[in-house]
Structure 1
Amino acid sequence: MKIIDKNMFKFLQKWSAVQIITVGFLLIILFGALVLSLPVCSADGSSTNFIDSLFTATSAVCVTGLVVFDTSVHWSLLGKVVIISLIQIGGLGFMTIATMISLIRGKKINLKERLIIQESLNQFDLSGIVNLTRQIIFMVFTIEAVGGILLSINFIPKLGPVKGLMYGMFHSISAFCNAGFDLMGSISGQFSSLTSLYDNIFAMIVISLLIILGGIGYPVILDFLKNKRISKLNAHSKLVIASTAILLLIGFVFVFAVEYNNPDTLGNMNMKGKLLSSAFQSTTLRTAGFNSIDLSLTKESTIFLMIIFMFIGASPASTGGGIKTTTIAVLFLTVKDFLFGKDQIQIFERSISTETIRKSMVIFFMAISIVIVGTLALSLTNPQFSILECAFEVTSAYATVGLSIGGSPNLNIIGKFIIMILMFLGRVGSLTIFTAILSINIAKKDRNIKRPNGKIIVG
């Protein structure tokens, strides 16, 4: 074991934090794909095609939820355990899991490992990073355990105590990690997601709360637990809560209004079902990937709004994807304050740094570019899908949402690879990946050279 630790330390010394995170996720995906391809992981005892196993492992580790097989029907008990384990690793982050194992073993966390943890958790300060990791691990497992017990109350009467508890824990972890994997295929039909629970108030509320808690980010939850009152929270937490609440409200009102009379979605539901489904569908756009209505039958305007909301996604240092709520909030505030002629961008009596604004612009530009290129690539390689279906699938993959209207099972091999690449870019972070690649070749001597201003006309 000491030899392994020594070799691991040498490995960590050679790579930057972002490079280790990128390679680490890749290795976990490959390992998961190899295990899932084994006959023992499929329900019928046959080997699963490696490409499909790789797609499933990528979707699980990247907490996306796009699948080529119905999880409940195709995979054996072991296969389901592997999938939920990959989801847990992907949701927490492999460095958080590695830190937990090291702490259990009593191993000291060195500086290099602390830097990697800091990068993976998207934290500004290195001090107290190990203690923060402990708090996150305890908080996540507590929330998932409570959610699993609550959901098992719904499943046990139908499935029995053992299977009911298993279903409760699986869906609790999947919901908190914003993964979107479900086991409802054997109950309500393959690829049905949570449509059979559309009017179940208890189940919908519990799952929605798990999605929201997983999507607002660990720093916000810990900040709230520490200060107890919203007025005492830091600027980041306030901005996350405000932007999340606004998006949830807009999504709810839009889906409810547009789909109200659609006979294929909300039209034939009673008022309770309409309200629950509208609220749940708005919540799941925070990159959770569950659905309580058939999305392929929703109106095009609803699909277009979903694409926008999926693109925005969850919040930083969370289990969700997307460009993040704070990124879009910073860009909105920048535009607003620029139009009003303000020199400083401000929120909650705090100014936003130029570096934060620049990073938000880079993230937005990179994300929109990737989605456009991905949509065109998928449309060209899978002409059976409309451009709207391709845009939806691509955005869902890149934002690690997991919702689908075109159907991942119907993608050809090239299409599956495109979606896998997008899921990986979305989970690890395109900015992180490109930084990891470019950090090798960027000429350091040119970084700090200041040149005279060039007058460029824009607008």
Structure 2
Amino acid sequence: MVSLFKKLSVAQKISLSFIIVIIIGSLLLSLPIMHYDSAPATTYLDHLFNTVSIVCVTGLSVFSIGDVYNGLGQAVVICLIQIGGLGLVSLISFSYYSINQRMSLEQQEILQSSIGNNSSADLRRYLFRIYKITFAIEGLVALLLMLDFIPRFGWQHGMFNSLFLAISAFCNAGFDNLGSNSLINYQLNWIVNLTIAFAIISGGLGFRNWMTLIDTMKSWLKERPHRFGLVKRKLRVQTRLVLATTAIILASGTALAWILEWDNPETIGSLSFYQQGLISFFQTVTMRTAGFATIDYTKTGHAANFIFMLQMLIGGAPGGTAGGVKLIVTAIIFLIFKSEFLGQTRVSVFHRTIPSQLIKQTLTILIFFFTILIVGYVCLLEFEPDIDPFKLLFEACSALATVGVSMDVTSHLSTESRWIVMALMFLGRVGPITVLISLRQKIEKTIHYAETDLVLG
């Protein structure tokens, strides 16, 4: 077994590691000791589905976490969310460092693939910074939530619920232990909404970008330049592109959700101007693969839900806790269109040229991602002829993009459909490019043919 594992590729080892964690987690959560005595009857498939969603930090669930799992079960859920959010391989590698064991080049390669680091230089420092950032943000979020939860639930439950939500939000998991309505009961609570939104955005920015921002801030405090442009030039191109794309998506998504739902009395139509803005902003943030909900998506209009699906597919930044095709892929697609529309010979951003190999990888990721989405959606249509096709598409996008919101479909799916949704969640978390690499042969052949000319339209 060990020799067989060694023969696997890097991507295959990452995929297998997630599968092992899912199996162990589902077995633990299916134990009666993890459940309330008054919990409704459940099957192993129910727990397996939830565990896949938990480890893949998706948020889809066939039953409420807070209604079935007791304190011990919820503690296991927190651990599984943290493992899924940070990446199982980075946890293992962190353990290697903690006991002062030297890592082989192969182990470093596996780790870099899982955490989005493309440099082997000072990998130990990179790992420790990931955990410092994670625990600092999760701790801050938990403390802010305690301001509301401790008076509401008491010290013990208030602190535990705050920690649960902080970890779930930063890891973009979308799970809560507050009941079956997600955060709908807190839709007008500014502390809860803005704190959770901050955690979601932080987890979706990517660890490398956080490190760049921290280093740039330290440099700014030390040198104190008089112009902001000097600080901006210190940021990596990728960080600048992620920040710009994030700001554009958040602003445009909030505006579109607001415009499309402002007159809908079943969602935000009866609320004040500022309350409508808060809820619209939160939906745009949570659609970035987080999965929390402060409105009922069965009551939102089709136009708004379609916009939400597009936001799901975009996702967050590479090397973070979010899913989707990633912000960089979306930005490159737009830059390709812009370059072709303006008649430019090369694709560029911030006065830098994007390599053709990167463009090919972008298109490959898109094709693979949407192929999986189409296949999964067609299977759901076949197995669920009595469910609204639009709702099934919403469910498929939510699963593959590891978002976790639903139009009240998940608990009504057949056994076959649940397996399809689990597959979508797994593929969405492991990542299209990781799965694609695992299926490729190691031998690469380069063949040069004569060029040809094709008519596109």
TM-score where L is the length of structure 2:
0.94
Which of 115, 124, 134 is equivalent to 1:130?
Answer: 124
Q: Is the contact made by 2:97 and 2:124 (CA closer than 8 Å) also made in structure 1?
A: no
Which of 355, 358, 362 is equivalent to 1:356?
Answer: 358
1:172 Cα deviation after fit: 0.4
Answering whether residue 414 of structure 2 is matched by residue 412 of structure 1, we say yes
Aligned mates of 2:90, 2:316 — CA distance in 1: 19
1:164 is matched with which residue? 158
1:117 partner letter:
L
How many residues are matched? 443
Aligned mates of 2:417, 2:6 — CA distance in 1: 37
Deviation sequence 1:366-387 (CA, Å, 0-9, x none): 1122212211111110122211
1:43 partner letter:
Y
2:194 partner letter:
I
Deviation sequence 1:74-99 (CA, Å, 0-9, x none): 11111111111111000000011112
Aligned mates of 1:408, 1:83 — CA distance in 2: 19
1:450 is matched with which residue? 448
After TM superposition, list the pairs within 5 Å mapping 1:31-430 onto structure 2.
Answer: 31-44=24-37, 48-185=42-179, 190=180, 192-228=181-217, 229-430=231-432
Aligned-partner SS, 1:296? coil
Answering whether residue 47 of structure 2 is matched by residue 20 of structure 1, we say no
Aligned mates of 1:52, 1:261 — CA distance in 2: 38
Deviation sequence 1:304-325 (CA, Å, 0-9, x none): 1011110111111110000011
Q: Is the contact made by 1:195 and 1:291 (CA closer than 8 Å) also made in structure 2?
A: yes
1:45 Cα deviation after fit: 7.2
1:11 Cα deviation after fit: 6.2
Q: Is the contact made by 1:295 and 1:404 (CA closer than 8 Å) also made in structure 2?
A: yes
1:222 partner letter:
M
Query: Once structures 1 and 2 are overlaid, which stretch shifts more, 383-392 or 38-47?
Result: 38-47
Identity between Structure 1 and Structure 2 (%): 34
Query: Once structures 1 and 2 are overlaid, which stretch shifts more, 216-225 or 376-385?
Result: 376-385
Deviation sequence 1:209-260 (CA, Å, 0-9, x none): 1000001111111100001244421100000000111010111001111111
1:363 Cα deviation after fit: 0.9
Aligned-partner SS, 1:295? coil
After TM superposition, list the pairs within 5 Å mapping 1:424-439 onto structure 2.
Answer: 424-439=426-441
Aligned mates of 2:285, 2:173 — CA distance in 1: 13
Deviation sequence 1:39-96 (CA, Å, 0-9, x none): 1112127774111111111001100000001111111111111111111000000011
Deviation sequence 1:280-303 (CA, Å, 0-9, x none): 011111111001111110000001
1:14 partner letter:
K
1:14 Cα deviation after fit: 2.3
1:389 partner letter:
K
Aligned mates of 1:397, 1:405 — CA distance in 2: 12
2:48 partner letter:
L
Gaps of 5+ in 2: 218-230
1:452 partner letter:
A
Deviation sequence 1:402-457 (CA, Å, 0-9, x none): 01014211111011100000000000012211321233xx6x3x612322224333
Q: Is the contact made by 1:393 and 1:406 (CA closer than 8 Å) also made in structure 2?
A: no
Query: Once structures 1 and 2 are overlaid, which stretch shifts more, 97-106 or 313-322?
Result: 97-106
TM-score where L is the length of structure 1:
0.93
Aligned mates of 2:69, 2:413 — CA distance in 1: 20
2:367 partner letter:
F
Aligned mates of 1:213, 1:11 — CA distance in 2: 38
Aligned mates of 1:311, 1:384 — CA distance in 2: 25
Aligned mates of 1:328, 1:107 — CA distance in 2: 39
Q: Is the contact made by 1:64 and 1:401 (CA closer than 8 Å) also made in structure 2?
A: yes
Aligned mates of 1:13, 1:380 — CA distance in 2: 39
Aligned mates of 1:78, 1:108 — CA distance in 2: 35
Q: Is the contact made by 1:156 and 1:165 (CA closer than 8 Å) also made in structure 2?
A: yes
Aligned-partner SS, 1:367? helix
